[in-house]
Amino acid sequence: MKKIAPFVSIVVVNYNGKEHLKKCLDSLLKLNYPANRMEVLMVDNCSIDDSAGFVKKNFPKIKILKNDINNYARANNLGAKKAKGDFIAFVNNDVQVHENWLIELINVMDKEKRSGAAGGKILLKDGKIHSAGHEEYPNFYWGDRGFRHEDTGQYELVEEVASLCGAAVLFRKACLDDVGLLDEDFIMYLEDVEICLRCSKNKWKVLYVPKSIARHHFRGTSSAESVRYFSERNRLLLIAKHFPAQLGEALYGKGYFTGEGKSIYDVFPLIFTKLLERQRIGAVKASLPVIFKNFKKISILEKSILMDRIGEFKSAIIQDKALTGELNRLNAQLQEQIQRAARDMELKDALLREKDSMLQKKDEHLAGLNRANMELNRLNAQLQEQTQRAARDIELKDALLREKDSMLQKKDEHLAGLNRLNAQLQEQTQRAARDIELKDALVREKEVFSLELSRLNAQLQEQIQRAARDIELKDALLREKDSMLQKKDEHLAGLNRASAQLNEQIHRMTKDIESRDSMLLEKQTVLNQKETQLYKTIEELAAAKNDLEKIVRFDQKIKILLIKPYKITIEDTGETVRIIKKKYPNSSVYLLANLLKEDYEKLAKNNDVEKSLVYCRNGSKSFIKIPKLYSRLFLTRFDMAITLSSHKQAENYAGYKKAKLITMLSNSKNQCVYYVD
């Protein structure tokens, strides 16, 4: 007959892990396990990324639950309470399981009937080991076996371990019924170690199964700072719950709560409440001296750290002052360089203006020379034209003379025969003489004009040479000016770059100095506040130590401790005090209450109430720190302790439970509850 597989419920807690859910849920639905013998429940832990809508749309068979606060342990407990299985698995939303992950765990737990929990080998994305179970380190720190080691087969045996990683773990429901669910005060981290310790104390085995494989994205939805905070906080809760005698010596740990912005006083009320819940009053009282002693040591260490930081801040201030002096000196040098550059620019501008004036004059002179040259060219053209006309006239006259010479020769040959023409010939001869004289005059005039033209041409050549020399001088001056301008521009550009760089450095340094000054002022204020708080704490702890060493003396006068939860009004409290004083006229009423400022002012007018145990949460002068308050409770012997309550809210309000715990803690002969309604 085939054996029926046990029914298994798998709880997946999700907080803003929509990006991981598909791979996680797909791997769970593909498990090598009968589908009708398992269920998957997704508990949404107040997500804001519509994770629940995504699962509802894509995985309709998965049951969706919603937690009312973001508490990982509480969300797992909510899923466990709704689970129907004989076995309950807790799986993180960023885990992907192998198809045989569940069947391997069930096979081992089925053979070992006292196995309360089992977990497999959890690997990282790169194949290295994340966890092969937990191992304990000194001073109550815990870690994963084989973390970030290569998987070389070093953890291949089924074996008992001290604890299992809660990212993928299977519990027997009978075991959970016996030891209880996860401790919701832990919220997240070390809650898996704490429940495994309870399993071991109740004789349930915690088993590591290497063939059960899962892969973990590792902190896919949590930050490194939150991991460290909850690990340190929950370490102290774990010690208070399971190892109360070692709590005092283990308070310091790695010094996390002595860091800037962190204080062990912030978590002390929860630690003390855990002590009261899990330990007897006698054991708590026995551990208090060691706890207060180590509180004093931590306070002294914090003061030393603060003094070191003050020294560092003072050194930084001195360095900043030296840097400021250096900046002022550099700034003065820069101003001097800028002034020199301005003077150089003024001199440069004057030289440029002077050279521009010279160039303008040269240009005007050159324009005049050009005009004279044009006039000379015009005169030369006219002279050439006149010379050409004179040459043509001379050629014409030469032709006439040659013709007349021919005629004279003919006349000479015929002189004898032409006597009658002698008169005419004489007349022609006179005219020829006049023509020759005219020709000679023209030749002489031509020679004079040629000489004048040569002289004018020589003057023109001399002027042209002077103009060429002036142009060469002007070009040289222009080249020299361009060279000087280029050098000045390069120098000015260098000065501008240096000035810009220096201004940027000065701006950055000024910002840095302002930021440091602001930080120093803030840190000095915080240091002053912490130093004041430190001195008060030292005084209070010393007083508490002295009071603890005294023997409590019972006074004949009746002492009544009245404990007021926050939701009980000040009017109901005053009426209760009036009734007590009416019934016990000789009594002294001590009130333990967390008051607003206006309520405290009302109470201050009531002379029937002792003010020594009253504390105000908004920082009035009567504020008493928690360690001092608890020490007074231990040292004062009360005849009666009365817890104020209300029938309407007693069942749901956690403040009444804490008030009852304080009633148990007080040294009172009689204890009772008074309902104001």
pLDDT of residue 621: 41
* Cα separation, 156 vs 649, whole angstroms: 55
User: Which pLDDT score is estimated for 166?
Assistant: 95
Mean pLDDT, rounded, for 70-89: 96
Contacting residues for 614 by C-beta, under 8 A, at least 6 apart: 591, 592, 593, 595, 600, 603, 622, 624
pTM of the model: 0.49
pLDDT tens for residues 166-199? 999 999 999 999 999 999 999 999 999 999 999 9
Those residues with Cβ within 8 angstroms of residue 641's Cβ, 6 or more apart along the chain or in another chain: 560, 561, 563, 663, 666, 668, 670, 671, 672
Which pLDDT score is estimated for 45? 92
Answer for the pair 62, 55: CB distance below 8 angstroms, yes or no.
yes
Length of the chain: 677
| Residue 28 to residue 13: CA distance in whole angstroms | 14
Residues facing 63 on adjacent strands: 41
Query: How far apart (Å, rounded) are the C-alpha atoms in residues 168 and 76?
Result: 12
Residue 627 near residue 536 (C-beta atoms within 8 A): no
Q: Which two tokens stand for residue 254?
A: 């790695």
**pLDDT band, very low/low/confident/very high, at 530 (cuts 50, 70, 90):** low
Residue pair 560/589 in contact (Cβ under 8 Å)? The answer is yes
pLDDT in tens, 278-329: 777 777 767 777 776 676 666 666 656 656 666 666 666 777 677 777 777 8
The pLDDT of residue 626: 61
Supply the pLDDT for residue 550. 40
| Largest CA-CA distance found in the chain, in angstroms, rounded | 202
Distances in Å between the Cα of 452 and the Cα atoms of 179, 284, 389, 458, 514 are 139, 138, 18, 10, 89
Residue 432: pLDDT band by 50, 70, 90 thresholds?
A: low
Return all residues near 483 (Cβ < 8 A) that are at least 6 apart.
Answer: none
CB of 627 within 8 A of CB of 657? no
Please report which confidence band the pLDDT of residue 573 belongs to, taking 50, 70 and 90 as the band edges. Answer: confident
Dihedral, CA atoms, 506, 509, 514, 520, nearest 10 degrees?
-160
Express each pLDDT in 227-255 by its tens digit: 888 888 899 889 888 888 888 787 777 77
pLDDT > 70 fraction of the chain, expressed in percent and rounded = 80
